[in-house]
Structure 1
Amino acid sequence: MVQKYQSPVRVYKHPFELVMAAYERRFPTCHLIPMFVDSDVIIEETSEDRSFHKIERRCKLDVDAPRLLKRIAGVDYVYFIQKNSLNHRERTLHIESHNETFSNRVIIHELCCYSVHPENEEWTCFEQSASLDIKSFFGFESTVEKIAMKQYASNKLDADYIKRYLGDLTPLQESCLIRLRHWLQETHKGKIPKDEHILRFLRARDFNIDKAREILCQSLTWRKQHQVDYLLDTWSSPQVLHDYYTGGWHHHDKDGRPLYILRLGHMDTKGLVRALGEESLLRHVLSINEEGLRRCEENTKVFVRPISCWTCLVDLEGLNMRHLWRPGVKALLRIIEVVEANYPETLGRLLILRAPRVFPVLWTLVSPFIDENTRKKFLIYAGNDYQGPGGLVDYIDKEIIPDFLGGECMCEVPEGGLVPKSLYRTAEELENDEIRLWTETIYQSASIFKGAPHELLIEIIDASSVITWDFDVCKGDVIFNIYHSKRAPQPPRKDPLATHGITSPAGNNVQLIDKSWLLGQDYSMVESPLTCKEGESVQGSHVTRWPGFYILQWKFHSMPACATTNLPRVDDVLATLQVSSHKCKVMYYTEVLGSEDFR
């Protein structure tokens, strides 16, 4: 039986000619590819104008096969015949390969193609496909298949999975998803979001993988710092929200998307801000977004097709100038900013109904803060225009149109009304509540400067205790160290950079190790230094051997000068060079456990 495999399109952000120069460096052998042992030229032809080059090679490979299998087959290496056709004029390289070893038992036929990216002439695409036909092979058919096709299977998303949970993806889009997921798996130690979540950030940046990775990492750090993953289990809305927040979920639209209804015109925004504060309102809106994600997953199962976003219906009947109260608008803009940054591509459609004459004023205030792709999903109806052709019935089934919009379906969204002034809180009470809300996180953040590491002191009374840590590198590269000292460091000294005009937020850069201390005499290193790159999430632990004082240190890491100079330009295709700024940032959490409590 013949099995076929197709890998996603890979995109190299380098010109075709540069990629070809790098490709040729693997012959006759290449230390960067240990499996590729050697190669011999069999036939080589070049056209008169040198625009077409054809070469056939016999390649010697050291495949990752079990020793027993190699012994039974009587081989140490596997030989492949490779035929390359390079067209300089069309800027394409076609590669056709087939196995010479085992050819009477296993037939592997591989086709590869390098070509210019259709949308950017300075980029190069790589496509790869293969067919595998395994005959009787001493009972090792399944082993041979796994060895021969391991690379193809690891890089291919199942077509049924894509159709069922992700929707239609082009080969380039699928490639971006695989590459970003693979990067997250390497840097976040397996703790990565679902494909649907990654895909939202890719779509928000038109599948620009660098831009998507940047905003996704920022969002993952934000979620971790404020424990947003646990929000639905930990957040309990105050009673005033149940009574006066005029929003709620209501069935689904014609596309199966969860439908959220917000009667903004009936909402007393000033009263809610005065009674709850900006942070409580933000926390409530975040819980709505988290609930929306959960409902999308449920509807994906119900409708047996990917549902990745929801529809929001905003009724503006009753909207007037009191809704333009400045602190209320400020709170609205803050909410929009946070939602846009952390929930991209979750809004499928926004239906704005019964927009009054004051609406253009509100729209002028908020529209600059809304992403252009999101604005394209807005449909605005004035007066009763939503009731005619092209109106609400085009998007929502008639039987679930709410009664207050002329339908027959009872809607449980609160009608709102004015929040009693007796529920208003003083500015001091609101400030204390807001501080409590955003200091509930177990994580702390710190800035690390060149020459000014951040250090954390942990006193250990009982030997064999376990120091655990969990930190994210939000910006720059850092070196993580753990030291032990028998004597306590002096109180934290002032950030020395402040005298040079560099100001860091108070308390987020602490230095404990005195410059007069000598390593090996005043303090000692108890773990090997760990270099951590931007975007990485690091978890670990250390079992203490002695009582005393342990110092966790995050130190600025600069790239060695030799790493950024004197490299042949062709090698840039195979290496990414990072230029660090003079400031790094980490977010961390530590805990000390007894050895009996540590798992």
Structure 2
Amino acid sequence: MVQKYQSPVRVYKHPFELVMAAYERRFPTCHLIPMFVASDVVDEETSEDGSTQRVERRCALDVDAPRLLKRIAGVDYVYFIQKNTLNRKERTLHIESHNETFSNRVIIHETCCYSVHPENEDWTCFEQTASLDIKSFFGFESTVEKIAMKQYASSIKKGKEIIEFYLKELEDEGMTHVPRWTPSSLPLPLPRPTSLSTSPPLVPKLTVTPAVSIPLLDADYIKRYLGDLTPLQESCLIRLRKWLQETHKGKIPKDEHILRFLRARDFNMDKAREILCQSLTWRKQHQVDYLLETWSSPQVLQDYYTGGWHHHDRDGRPLYILRLGQMDTKGLVRALGEESLLRHVLSINEEGLRRCEENTKVFGRPISCWTCLVDLEGLNMRHLWRPGVKALLRIIEVVEANYPETLGRLLILRAPRVFPVLWTLVSPFIDENTRKKFLIYAGNDYQGPGGLVDYIDKEIIPDFLGGECMCEVPEGGLVPKSMYRTAEELENEDVRLWTETIYQSASVFKGAPHEVLIEIIDASSVITWDFDMCKGDVVFNIYHSKRAPQPPRKDAMGAHGITSPGGNNVQLIDKSWTLGQDYSMVESPLTCKEGESVQGSHITRWPGFYILQWKFHNMPACSATNLPRVDDVLATLQVSSHKCKVMYYTEVLGSEDFRLVWLSVYAAKRCSFASVLAYGFC
């Protein structure tokens, strides 16, 4: 498996030329990097005007590895080839290096880049990426990989410290300015290599990409708003963020949100990406991003839901108090239904995320989660009513899947004897990492040493817990039975709440595409679309026909005449139709991969019938002269083993609406997402 590393942007608040002067001082030797033994210039080339200089070096490193491993390998030093390109005119230094020693067993590649800060020409940015691929190493592949990654991670931040050290040295000598290169300038010596001095051997080497196309994060921003991350954790965050931007067309969640999913999976990028994509699809389908703006709690919740926000804990985390023992769970479920309660809890979580962002700014340190205090006084067997427990389990399941690592601590106070029964029911549905954050106090144990005052300032302990602070959390009570609703009314309400979405889902099978028919009366109308590939790969097409396709016929048994393997799969184009004769293609086919989010629009040229089609993507057949690759065969088997699933939304705008929305898109507080996409302002 190839190990990869992507750095955040390291910013030196010094001009490029001064940073290059500091960088040059690291060679030929550097007491801060004892492993760098020597380097020899292999090739050197300078342009006629002196603006560009290229140097190739062979560098030796004394690897910090077990003596036994060195003896088995038969080497004392590891040699790297390093190619540096300094462009004084463009003010960039690119450094690319790869290992020469054991190149048939281990492939190490690193690229570094010094460049001018895009927003301040007197600052300098440093970026790096790396990859490490160990194919074989005398049976010590795992050991070598661990040594390499450990040494590399420990040396990444050291590289910045070295530059800062020499910048300070230059300042002490009175050198605070180096003039920029001009065509009349004399060539300056090329700064010596950086990668081998900052990076241990047998470690990934960087791949630089222009800052314009890759959304790299500033290291100072990460520390200020996200916390102290290890270099490899930073790399996971940046790589996942980059992948999301490429597949979700710029509509990526906030960095704090991405980081929570990475932490929930111990920074396993593949696992984090899977659950994050599922959650993003869920958020879009149910419009969760707009929940705080659109959800208004029913009066019964405002009166009888015994929970609310209350200041913050000692760590600055928002504090939510829930008096569960005083809550009439049966009454709330009978009066509102399961989905209304779930939506209310989701709004609480969304509000918690917003408060975390606010507290991060207020306290000047990263605050990514909140504290929940649950008071169980009054909890008894009536709280174990089966429909109520079922609703609770459903809420836990949804919150665990979509709000990982948002709970910093859960304080459970005054747990009665019946609590172990409730805990036995709900604990299997709670993630192990979350359970570790639970602190449970029975009776009045929370009032002693190691109790509530260790986590919450005495001044804000609620009055009902023996404190002096007035708490505005409702006291609850029994919901009047006159507010209860029938089972049919509750079922209809639940259906209404979770079908209030502009998105639809459909299945796509091999030989059975899903198609949507849109009738256009006026030419120059705009068809917009927004869809997510939840599962599998498809090809997206748009067709036009002057005549309407016949709707799916039903036989005597009520089944559609056009066979479809799934109930949410619709096929409109008759097999007897001929492309180019009965209908025509108006957009080039677009291949969409699993996990991608696709948005676009089409301005119609003719009236008639337009068909949006999602078609199963078949892997290209291998030619007879070329043997198929194993990866291709496995991918084909995997794709064809299950159906594809797409979640989509389409909208049609008339020409008049097009002009009106175009003129008011900036002024409108909210307009449909797909409409805005049509005008390119997203």
Same fold, TM exceeding 0.5?
yes
TM-aligned CA distance change 1:346 to 1:150, over 3 Å: closer
TM-aligned CA distance change 1:119 to 1:426, over 3 Å: farther
8 Å CA contact retained: 1:476, 1:581: no
Shift of 1:515: 1.1
TM-aligned CA distance change 1:350 to 1:24, over 3 Å: same
8 Å CA contact retained: 1:245, 1:416: yes
Shift of 1:112: 7.9
8 Å CA contact retained: 1:28, 1:40: no
Residue of 291, 301, 314 corresponding to 1:254: 314
TM-aligned CA distance change 1:23 to 1:557, over 3 Å: farther
Once the two structures are superposed, residues 374-395 of structure 1 have per-residue CA deviations (whole angstroms, 9 ceiling, x without a partner) of 0010001111111111110000
Shift of 1:29: 31
TM-aligned CA distance change 1:31 to 1:559, over 3 Å: farther
Once the two structures are superposed, residues 251-306 of structure 1 have per-residue CA deviations (whole angstroms, 9 ceiling, x without a partner) of 00000000000000000000000000000000000000000000000000000000
Q: Distance in 1 between matches of 2:118 and 2:526?
A: 55
What SS does the aligned partner of 1:481 have?
strand
Q: TM-score, normalised by structure 2?
A: 0.66
Once the two structures are superposed, residues 500-558 of structure 1 have per-residue CA deviations (whole angstroms, 9 ceiling, x without a partner) of 99999975211111111111111111111000011111111111111111110001112
What SS does the aligned partner of 1:562 have?
coil
Shift of 1:12: 29
Shift of 1:323: 0.4
Q: Distance in 2 between matches of 1:191 and 1:533?
A: 16
Once the two structures are superposed, residues 57-93 of structure 1 have per-residue CA deviations (whole angstroms, 9 ceiling, x without a partner) of 7999999999999999999999997389999999999
Once the two structures are superposed, residues 422-461 of structure 1 have per-residue CA deviations (whole angstroms, 9 ceiling, x without a partner) of 0000111111111111111111111111111110010111
Once the two structures are superposed, residues 122-163 of structure 1 have per-residue CA deviations (whole angstroms, 9 ceiling, x without a partner) of 99999958999999999999999999999999xxx3222111
Shift of 1:570: 12
Q: Distance in 1 between matches of 2:544 and 2:67?
A: 46
8 Å CA contact retained: 1:19, 1:573: no
TM-aligned CA distance change 1:140 to 1:123, over 3 Å: same
Q: Note if 1:203 corresponds to 2:254.
A: no
What SS does the aligned partner of 2:485 have?
coil
Q: Distance in 2 between matches of 1:69 and 1:542?
A: 62
Residue of 581, 601, 604 corresponding to 1:541: 601
Q: Distance in 1 between matches of 2:114 and 2:535?
A: 35
TM-aligned CA distance change 1:313 to 1:19, over 3 Å: same
TM-aligned CA distance change 1:376 to 1:76, over 3 Å: closer
Q: Note if 1:94 corresponds to 2:94.
A: yes
Q: Note if 1:33 corresponds to 2:37.
A: no
Q: Which moved more, 1:62-71 or 1:353-362?
A: 62-71
TM-aligned CA distance change 1:217 to 1:151, over 3 Å: farther
What SS does the aligned partner of 1:93 have?
strand
Q: Distance in 1 between matches of 2:575 and 2:22?
A: 47
What SS does the aligned partner of 2:571 have?
coil
Percent identity (aligned): 93
Shift of 1:341: 0.5
TM-aligned CA distance change 1:320 to 1:511, over 3 Å: same
TM-aligned CA distance change 1:16 to 1:381, over 3 Å: farther
Once the two structures are superposed, residues 82-123 of structure 1 have per-residue CA deviations (whole angstroms, 9 ceiling, x without a partner) of 389999999999998699999999999998899999999999
Shift of 1:562: 3.4
Q: Which moved more, 1:487-496 or 1:375-384?
A: 487-496
What SS does the aligned partner of 1:575 have?
helix
Q: Distance in 1 between matches of 2:579 and 2:90?
A: 62
TM-aligned CA distance change 1:392 to 1:23, over 3 Å: closer
Q: Which moved more, 1:28-37 or 1:276-285?
A: 28-37
Q: Which moved more, 1:18-27 or 1:402-411?
A: 18-27
TM-aligned CA distance change 1:578 to 1:181, over 3 Å: farther
Q: Which moved more, 1:457-466 or 1:504-513?
A: 504-513
TM-aligned CA distance change 1:163 to 1:446, over 3 Å: same
Once the two structures are superposed, residues 33-79 of structure 1 have per-residue CA deviations (whole angstroms, 9 ceiling, x without a partner) of 99999999969999999999999779999999999999999999999
Instruction: Give unpaired runs (5+ residues) of structure 1.
Output: none
TM-aligned CA distance change 1:302 to 1:123, over 3 Å: closer
What SS does the aligned partner of 1:305 have?
coil
Shift of 1:321: 0.5
Q: Which moved more, 1:63-72 or 1:355-364?
A: 63-72
Q: Partner residue of 1:468?
A: 528
8 Å CA contact retained: 1:22, 1:573: no
TM-aligned CA distance change 1:32 to 1:323, over 3 Å: same
Q: Distance in 2 between matches of 1:327 and 1:526?
A: 52
TM-aligned CA distance change 1:559 to 1:140, over 3 Å: closer
Residue of 353, 367, 384 corresponding to 1:324: 384
Q: Distance in 2 between matches of 1:210 and 1:465?
A: 41
TM-aligned CA distance change 1:34 to 1:455, over 3 Å: farther
Q: Partner residue of 1:46?
A: 46
8 Å CA contact retained: 2:405, 2:434: yes
TM-aligned CA distance change 1:20 to 1:471, over 3 Å: farther
Once the two structures are superposed, residues 197-240 of structure 1 have per-residue CA deviations (whole angstroms, 9 ceiling, x without a partner) of 00000000010100100110010011111110100000000000
TM-aligned CA distance change 1:59 to 1:491, over 3 Å: farther
8 Å CA contact retained: 2:5, 2:130: yes
8 Å CA contact retained: 2:304, 2:474: yes
Q: Partner residue of 2:469?
A: 409
8 Å CA contact retained: 1:184, 1:192: yes
Shift of 1:316: 0.4
Q: Partner residue of 1:503?
A: 563
Q: Distance in 2 between matches of 1:140 and 1:96?
A: 27
Q: Which moved more, 1:579-588 or 1:196-205?
A: 579-588
TM-aligned CA distance change 1:511 to 1:374, over 3 Å: same
Q: Which moved more, 1:494-503 or 1:437-446?
A: 494-503
Q: Partner residue of 1:146?
A: 146
Q: TM-score, normalised by structure 1?
A: 0.74
TM-aligned CA distance change 1:50 to 1:549, over 3 Å: closer
8 Å CA contact retained: 1:185, 1:192: yes
TM-aligned CA distance change 1:210 to 1:521, over 3 Å: same
Q: Cα RMSD over matched residues?
A: 15.7
Q: Distance in 2 between matches of 1:565 and 1:148?
A: 41
Q: Distance in 2 between matches of 1:329 and 1:143?
A: 49
Q: Distance in 2 between matches of 1:122 and 1:447?
A: 54
Q: Distance in 1 between matches of 2:390 and 2:469?
A: 34
8 Å CA contact retained: 1:280, 1:434: yes
TM-aligned CA distance change 1:318 to 1:565, over 3 Å: farther
Q: Distance in 2 between matches of 1:398 and 1:524?
A: 73
Instruction: Give unpaired runs (5+ residues) of structure 2.
Output: 154-216, 659-682
8 Å CA contact retained: 1:10, 1:175: no
TM-aligned CA distance change 1:543 to 1:141, over 3 Å: farther
Q: Which moved more, 1:204-213 or 1:486-495?
A: 486-495
Shift of 1:362: 0.5
TM-aligned CA distance change 1:90 to 1:544, over 3 Å: closer
Q: Which moved more, 1:537-546 or 1:243-252?
A: 537-546
TM-aligned CA distance change 1:168 to 1:447, over 3 Å: same
Q: Which moved more, 1:64-73 or 1:489-498?
A: 64-73
8 Å CA contact retained: 1:30, 1:37: no
TM-aligned CA distance change 1:490 to 1:418, over 3 Å: same
Q: Distance in 1 between matches of 2:33 and 2:358?
A: 45
TM-aligned CA distance change 1:44 to 1:347, over 3 Å: same
8 Å CA contact retained: 1:477, 1:580: no
TM-aligned CA distance change 1:252 to 1:448, over 3 Å: same
TM-aligned CA distance change 1:159 to 1:184, over 3 Å: same
Q: Partner residue of 1:479?
A: 539
Shift of 1:21: 36
TM-aligned CA distance change 1:437 to 1:96, over 3 Å: closer
8 Å CA contact retained: 2:8, 2:219: no
Once the two structures are superposed, residues 458-507 of structure 1 have per-residue CA deviations (whole angstroms, 9 ceiling, x without a partner) of 01111111111011111111100011111111112579999999999975
Q: Distance in 1 between matches of 2:297 and 2:232?
A: 43
TM-aligned CA distance change 1:567 to 1:324, over 3 Å: farther
Shift of 1:577: 11
What SS does the aligned partner of 1:531 have?
strand
Q: Which moved more, 1:489-498 or 1:546-555?
A: 489-498
